[in-house]
């Protein structure tokens, strides 16, 4: 195992959990690719992603429940996504909790909306854990399934990265020198007047 893969194996689960909490799907799909490349166990990747997603969504739920009258919660509740979330919660409370991670625009507003609703904390906690596991499993599976395609694209891109980076650096230096000389020339013209 190279140093790079050792670092990924050591810190990958933490990065995946953090990415799942903050960013969402991209880090979880990347975790699936790491599982496909046998850097991490698929079970570890799913667990890390589910924990990251589940914890942040529970915290957002708790904020909605405990701080309903704060500026941040009121700002979140004033958006159009919040109104859609409340309508869905009223019609399909369990289904909404299990699926809001998959609905674009409801990732942050969804748990806050559940927090200001009348759904019990216990019900949310159980369904949130199940929903986080389903979501994590689905996106890890996508990364695992499409890992070879992604890796081949990355390998081709990195094969040409050094010449492209060198060419870009040369162009940047030439343009920088040209702009600098042009500005010096303008300054001299202004000084001569």
State the pLDDT confidence band at 187, using cuts at 50, 70 and 90: confident
Q: Do the domain assignments include residue 180?
A: yes
Q: Tokens for 121?
A: 């904390």
Q: What is the pLDDT of residues 63-122, one digit of tens each?
A: 888 887 788 777 777 777 777 777 888 889 999 999 988 887 777 778 888 898 889 999
One domain for residues 126 and 171: no
Q: What is the pTM of this model?
A: 0.70
Q: Do the domain assignments include residue 154?
A: no
Pairwise CA distance, residues 176 & 47, whole Å = 49
Our count of domains for the chain comes to: 2
**What residues make up the domain containing 171?**
160-193
Pairwise CA distance, residues 16 & 46, whole Å = 9
Pairwise CA distance, residues 44 & 52, whole Å = 12
Pairwise CA distance, residues 31 & 7, whole Å = 14
One domain for residues 167 and 133: no
One domain for residues 130 and 37: yes
One domain for residues 189 and 131: no
Q: Do the domain assignments include residue 96?
A: yes
Percent of the chain with pLDDT over 90: 26
Q: Do the domain assignments include residue 173?
A: yes
Q: Tokens for 78?
A: 């004033």
């Amino acid at each position: 195992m190279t140093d790079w893969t050792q670092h990924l194996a050591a810190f990958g689960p933490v990065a995946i959990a953090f990415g799942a909490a903050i960013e969402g799907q991209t880090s979880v799909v990347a975790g699936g690719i790491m599982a496909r490349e046998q850097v991490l166990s698929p079970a570890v990747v799913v667990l890390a992603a589910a924990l990251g997603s589940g914890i942040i969504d529970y915290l957002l739920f708790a904020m909605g429940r405990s701080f309903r009258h704060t500026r941040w919660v009121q700002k979140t509740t004033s958006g159009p996504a919040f109104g859609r979330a409340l309508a869905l919660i009223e019609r399909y409370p369990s289904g909404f909790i299990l699926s809001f991670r998959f609905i674009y625009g409801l990732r942050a507003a969804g748990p806050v909306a559940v927090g200001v609703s009348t759904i019990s904390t216990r019900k949310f906690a159980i369904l949130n854990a199940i929903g986080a596991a389903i979501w994590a499993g689905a996106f890890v599976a996508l990364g695992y399934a499409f890992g070879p395609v992604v890796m081949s694209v990355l390998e081709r891109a990195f094969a040409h990265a050094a010449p492209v980076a060198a060419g870009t650096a040369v162009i940047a230096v030439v343009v920088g020198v040209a702009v600098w000389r042009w500005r010096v020339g303008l300054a001299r013209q202004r000084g001569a007047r």
